[in-house]
Chain A
Amino acid sequence: MSRVIGLKCRECGAEYPAVIQNTCYECFGPLEVNYDWDYIADHTSKEKIAAGPKSIWRYADLLPVESGKRVDLGAGFNTLHRAERLGAALGLDELYILDESVNPTNSFKDRVTSVALSKALEFNVKAVGCASTGNLAAAVGAHAAKAGLPAYIFIPGTIELGKIVQMLIYGPRVIAVEGTYDDANRLASEVADSHPDWAFVNINIRPYYTEGSKTLAYETAEQLGWQTPDHIVAPLASGALLCAIARGYRELERIGLVDKAEVKFSGSQPLNCSPIATAVQNNSEVVPVRNFETVAHSLAIGNPADGYYAKKAILDSGGYAASPTDGEIIEAIHLLARTEGIFTEPAGGTTVAGLKKLVESGHIQPDERIVVYVTGNGLKAQDTLLKSLQRPPVIKPMLSEFERLIEPRLDIHRQEVAPLART
């Protein structure tokens, strides 16, 4: 008896043992982990979780890693901030932000990678790998170093050196491919196919990898005192993240850790690359996008394999999807930083900009309890943000120069103080 029964096809239901496999042999559909929920309900509790480690591994009973082997840099257990100032700016009564910018390699990818590499150790693989343009590469590089496993990371060849500093430092083999991310990913999947004892986290062990994102839902519920939000907003790239969050809330209800999970799932995707959001808005098929240019590079997936499922999860829950412009995305990064002191990259800006649009369009109500998932750190996108920031003027080191610089603001303060002084 164990918590993992095996793998199951999301499309046709065909079942397989829990091995290195991500594709159904009957219909080519994606596989997902098939759990024994009765076993899980009998073997976990709020108390057991509370006594667990301060990381995603406090939820180990709901994750597909069954040996004690873990590759753990401390991903997860992040703060669910009550966002009062951002809430006030947007006219919202109860807004929270789960800040993923503070993970070990500064994005939520540390959660999925920790699960994937722990499972890879269980499979006794010879190497690990992925295709990425940034966040996943850094997470895999770091966790592979921690595990002492060779890593192969496939990236598009045009990526700027500054963006790959974080992945290079951990010492993986980085393979720069002539072409786009989709070309790098396709090559990586062909390499995975020819090396059955290598675990490619977003390819051949994808069913286990995606489970790490469910911990965002678990953590939110636990920090809300085992309550659920009314509405969540997450960024959309492949659609896998939003689907995993939805699954996480359903599972908590299933095993009785929350009473009822009636959560609305809304997503946000950049206007310039918006296959899932467009499908939600028009209630139409997800149509792949071929040519796109957006500041939100980490969301730029033209052909999202989980798009169909993400659209369904959104519409079935009563949620919606927004598609902010690049300008709105950058503005939202500034707004979040200025109101809450959280510095996010364009994917996080897309989410906050999406929240703003969904409030303005009436798809999110002001009295809902809302949670927004801010998935990565702005330090990774400094080049993009420089254009929207002003270099401060350089003054002589004299008090008078300082006062001349800020004088327009001082006038306002003098007017406020003077009436009090007279009384």
Chain B
Amino acid sequence: MVKIRFSSALSNVTHARETTLDIGDTTVKAVLDKLVEQYGADFERRILDKGEVRRFVNLYVNGEDIRHLNGLNSAVKGTDEISILPAVSGG
């Protein structure tokens, strides 16, 4: 099962902090498509802009930013963990 953790900033759309998908080996894009089916257009609008990940959204697969992997085509194994978090930096 792929586990997806949501930022609290998505709570008003997902009404949950995490969910799981029985999806097998796949890509981040495929996982997002499934989540959009589940949570609707509001969810899609928060995460994507014209099919690309929005500037202030960070997507991680097992802690790796997908921008450093293969973007939306990054591989996701059936036991991986995905996090969707807002961009924050600087200390």
Identify which of A288, A290, A305 gathers the most chain B CB atoms within 10 Å of its CB. Answer: A305
Chain A, 161-196, contact with B by CB distance < 8 Å: what is the 0/1 string?
Answer: 000000000000000000101110110011001101
Q: Which A26-42 residues sit within 8 Å CB-CB of chain B?
A: 26-30
Contact of A27 among B8, B54, B58, B91 (CB under 8 A): B54
A303 and B56 contact, CB distance less than 8 A: no
Instruction: Name the distance in Å between B6's Cβ and chain A's nearest Cβ.
Output: 9
A-B contact count (CB 8 A): 85
B77 within 8 A of A: no
A193 and B8 contact, CB distance less than 8 A: yes
Contact of B86 among A22, A131, A196, A239 (CB under 8 A): A22
B38 within 8 A of A: no
B56 and A181 contact, CB distance less than 8 A: no
Please name the residue on chain A nearest to B90 by beta carbon: A238
Please name the residue on chain A nearest to B49 by beta carbon: A27
A202 and B55 contact, CB distance less than 8 A: no
Q: Which B70-91 residues sit within 8 Å CB-CB of chain A?
A: 83, 85-91
Contact of A303 among B8, B47, B89 (CB under 8 A): B89
Contact of B54 among A28, A131, A182, A238 (CB under 8 A): A28
B91 and A305 contact, CB distance less than 8 A: no
Cα(A182)–Cα(B8), bound, Å: 20
Subset of 23 A-B contacts with CB under 8 Å: A25-B9, A27-B56, A28-B46, A28-B47, A28-B57, A28-B86, A28-B87, A30-B56, A133-B91, A179-B63, A189-B86, A190-B5, A190-B83, A190-B85, A193-B7, A194-B17, A196-B8, A202-B90, A202-B91, A203-B88, A206-B88, A239-B90, A301-B89
A238 and B89 contact, CB distance less than 8 A: yes
Q: Could you say which interface size class chain A belongs to? A: 35 or more
A30-B56, A305-B56 known; A130 vs B88 contact (CB < 8 Å): no
Cα(A261)–Cα(B57), bound, Å: 34
Cα(A313)–Cα(B12), bound, Å: 33
Cα(A185)–Cα(B8), bound, Å: 16
Please name the residue on chain B nearest to A179 by beta carbon: B63
Identify which of B57, B58, B65, B91 gathers the most chain A CB atoms within 10 Å of its CB. Answer: B91
Contacts of B5 in A (CB 8 A): 190
Contacts of B15 in A (CB 8 A): none
A11 within 8 A of B: yes
A23 within 8 A of B: yes
A22 and B89 contact, CB distance less than 8 A: no
A237 within 8 A of B: yes
A-B pairs, 5 with minimum CB distance: A238-B90, A132-B91, A23-B86, A23-B9, A305-B89
Please name the residue on chain A nearest to B7 by beta carbon: A193
A221 within 8 A of B: no
Contacts of A11 in B (CB 8 A): 56
Q: Which B9-54 residues sit within 8 Å CB-CB of chain A?
A: 9, 12, 17, 46-47, 54
Identify which of A24, A27, A30 gathers the most chain B CB atoms within 10 Å of its CB. Answer: A27
B68 and A29 contact, CB distance less than 8 A: no
A305 and B8 contact, CB distance less than 8 A: no
A189 and B88 contact, CB distance less than 8 A: yes
A133-B91, A305-B87 known; A24 vs B60 contact (CB < 8 Å): no
Instruction: Name the distance in Å between A180's Cβ and chain B's nearest Cβ.
Output: 11
A308 within 8 A of B: yes
Please name the residue on chain A nearest to B56 by beta carbon: A28
A251 within 8 A of B: no
Contacts of B17 in A (CB 8 A): 193-194
